[in-house]
Amino acid sequence: MKLTVIGQWGGYPKAGEASTGYLLQHNDYNLLIDCGSGVLSHLQHHVEATDLDAVLLSHYHPDHVADIGVLQHALLIQYFLGKNKGTLPVYTHREDQRGFETITYKDLMKAHEYKEDSSLSIGPFTVTFVKTMHPVPCYGMRIQADGKALFYTADSAYREEFVSFGQDADVLLCECNFYGGMNSSNAGHMTSLDAGKLAHKTNAGKLILTHLPHFGDLSKLVTEAKSVYNGEAVLAEKDMVVEM
């Protein structure tokens, strides 16, 4: 599996970058995970909108879905140019019915529901889900292919339930919106120390800190995470590529 960071900012994108979005590729299959503000612009440095085979959404906060409407228009324009290859499936939950209903668009994009107990086959990937602790319904996900595993926490405060769900993942793509010692749980987010603890307890092969804050010295997030996790820990960066 090849993971490319398209956007890594929480809340809103830093100038010239994007909020949450990741491209996961395997066996020529292109899966976009979340589609926040600015994602479509930066995605095109790697693949075209019409090259996507599926989209997987964690929840409906704008920093995770703001570019869904933009993607719909891109597919529409490419359809008129004769370049669209069919209906793009988008896998998401329907605990926000209004949000769910915004996904299906003409014959170009169609929403497919997943639930916490779902196990989906999406191209070469097997995907399972875990409910997170966030102000709105949100799901983390474990994505596996050919013996490799990615655990993406999406947005959440720390949950002990994540430990068994994410055990031995090759990559832990973990939200980290606060610094150690801050009270992040009320906001439904994790600190650097939470991320490090989760990486340690799950025996993650590599920790990537993402959904980053817009304040402070970001390098401190890595230092704090590594105080409780002995493995490799890095900040997510635009265009970062990780092979599993």
CB 221 within 8 A of CB 179: yes
Q: Which of 101, 71, 67 is nearest to 88 (CA)?
A: 71
- Report the candidate in 131, 141, 197 with the shortest Cα–Cα distance to residue 166: 141
CB-CB neighbours of 236 under 10 Å: 23
The predicted-structure confidence for 141-199, as pLDDT tens digits, reads as follows 999 999 999 999 999 999 999 999 999 999 999 999 999 999 999 999 999 999 999 99
Residue 164 C-beta-side C-alpha neighbours within 13 Å:
3
Q: Rounded distance, CA 176 to CA 156, Å?
A: 9
Average model confidence (pLDDT) across the chain: 97
pTM (predicted TM-score): 0.97
Q: Percentage of residues in the chain with pLDDT exceeding 70?
A: 100
- The ranges assigned to domains in the chain are 2-243
What confidence category does residue 37 fall into, taking pLDDT thresholds of 50, 70 and 90? very high
pLDDT tens by residue, 100-135? 999 999 999 999 999 999 999 999 999 999 999 999
Top-tier CATH class for 2-243: alpha beta
The amino acid that residue 23 corresponds to is L
Q: Of 211, 212, 218, which Cα lies nearest the Cα of 64? A: 211
* Three-point CA angle 210, 164, 123, nearest 5°: 65
Q: How confident is the model at residue 204 (pLDDT cuts 50, 70, 90)?
A: very high
